[in-house]
Homo-oligomer: A and B are copies of this chain.
Amino acid sequence: MAFVQDFTWKEGITVKDLVKDFGAIGYQSIELARAKESIVKMKKASAKIFLTFTSNMVTSGLRGFFAQLVRLGMADVLVTTAGAIEEDIMKAMGERFAIGSFSSDDVELHERGDNRIGNLVVTNESYCELEDKLLPMLDKIYAKQQRLTVSELLKEIGLQLDDENSILYQAAKHDVPVFCPGITDGSLGFHLFMYQQKHDDFIIDVVKDFKKIVLCTSHDDTKGVIALGGSISKHHAILACLLNGGARYAVYMTTARSTSGSMSGATTNEAKSWGKVQDDSDVSTVIGDVTITFPIAMIAALEELKEEGLLDG
């Protein structure tokens, strides 16, 4: 039986050691330490790791971390939303997002051409830049192939980027598929629509992409899911696992609550009723802002996996 331990600060404490202490503090710190354990175990078990995240996390500086995780071999499949794709491309083109405030005057921001995402700000200009850069990319892609899946589209885009911190770039380079079941839900949708206006045979085949995510793994694979935030990205990954016998490991990190029956707030326990994760699986749900909880849990896992020589690159 484990007991609560009084925590005290030791000078120069590392993140790794803090997470060890977290395991005996209480409440979400314990769940976070468990999440780190689940991540270590899924890697040690050579699980196929599905990493999912939402757009706002790519707006944030977690974007570079996601790219790094792909490079280190910590993600075999990515699932995300349209906004995440757009912002990864914008940043790869040099756009910068400013740090603002949750209590900004939103009318004033609008007049300045600033768009608020929590305490971050994306300018209208960044969206215009995206348009300018995206069109020639689409021309190249269309020249090769007219009907393609979302993950094929994203790989082609990734190949045209050149930024170590880009998720699409690293994914393309390391052959990690990026799924985005709601690809049109963003300005990207608008650009694809405009492109199709000129080329009616330009088709994004979402149905074929479903086949690809289902067949990218198998019942025999050990599967792990790290779902950050909720939304369609979380659901899509665990659905792909469900159709392959369920995940053996699952870590959910979110601020959503389970009390309204939403997918975003659904816990790793609820997932067991569906077979989304296996009955005897190793799971943890951490409640909190992932810009804090995820780096901490993942850093501690990386330190341990590095020592054991289990990281790529």
Residues of A within 8 A of B (CB): 1-9, 11-16, 18, 21-22, 24-32, 54-57, 59-65, 67-68, 81, 83, 91, 96-99, 102-104, 106-107, 109-111, 114-120, 147, 165, 181-186, 189-190, 192-193, 195-197, 202-211, 214, 229-232, 235-236, 239, 243, 255-266, 269-275, 279, 287-293, 295-296, 298-299, 302-303, 306
Docked-complex contact A7 and B61, CB < 8 angstroms: yes
CA distance in complex: A288, B269 (Å): 22
The distance in angstroms between the C-alpha atoms of A185 and B109, with both chains bound, is 35
Closest to A69 in B: B9
- Chain B residues whose C-beta falls within 8 Å of the C-beta of A196 in the assembled complex: 207-208, 211
Decide: B185 and A236 in contact? CB cutoff 8 A.
Answer: yes
Q: Which 4 A-B pairs have CB atoms at the shortest separation, nearest pair first?
A: A6-B64, A118-B261, A26-B60, A28-B289
A205 & B203 in contact (Cβ 8 Å cutoff): yes
Q: Which residues of B contact A11 (CB under 8 A)?
A: 303, 306
Which residues of B lie under 8 Å from residue A115 when comparing CB positions? 273-274
Copies in the complex: 4
Residue of B nearest to A103 (CB): B269
Contacts A109-B273, A119-B261, A186-B239 given; indicate if A207 touches B204 (C-beta within 8 A): yes
A-B contact list, 5 entries, CB within 8 Å: A1-B98, A5-B64, A32-B292, A193-B208, A255-B262
Let me know if A118 and B27 touch, CB within 8 A: yes
Within 8 Å CB of A106, what residues of B?
A: 269-273
With both chains docked as a complex, state the minimum distance between the C-beta of A292 and any C-beta of chain B, in angstroms.
Answer: 5
CB nearest neighbor in B for A276: B115
Question: Given contacts A111-B279, A202-B207, could you give 15 more A-B pairs where the C-beta distance is less than 8 Å?
Answer: A3-B97, A4-B96, A8-B65, A8-B68, A13-B14, A25-B62, A25-B295, A28-B260, A29-B60, A29-B289, A56-B261, A110-B275, A182-B182, A255-B259, A288-B289
Residues of B within 8 A of A28 (CB): 259-260, 288-289, 291-292
Which B-chain residue is minimally distant from A166 (CB atoms)? B6
Is A4 within 8 A of B60, CB to CB?
yes
B257 touches A255 (CB 8 A): yes
> Across the interface, do A256 and B259 meet the contact criterion of CB distance under 8 Å?
no
Q: Is the CB of A291 within 8 A of B26?
A: yes
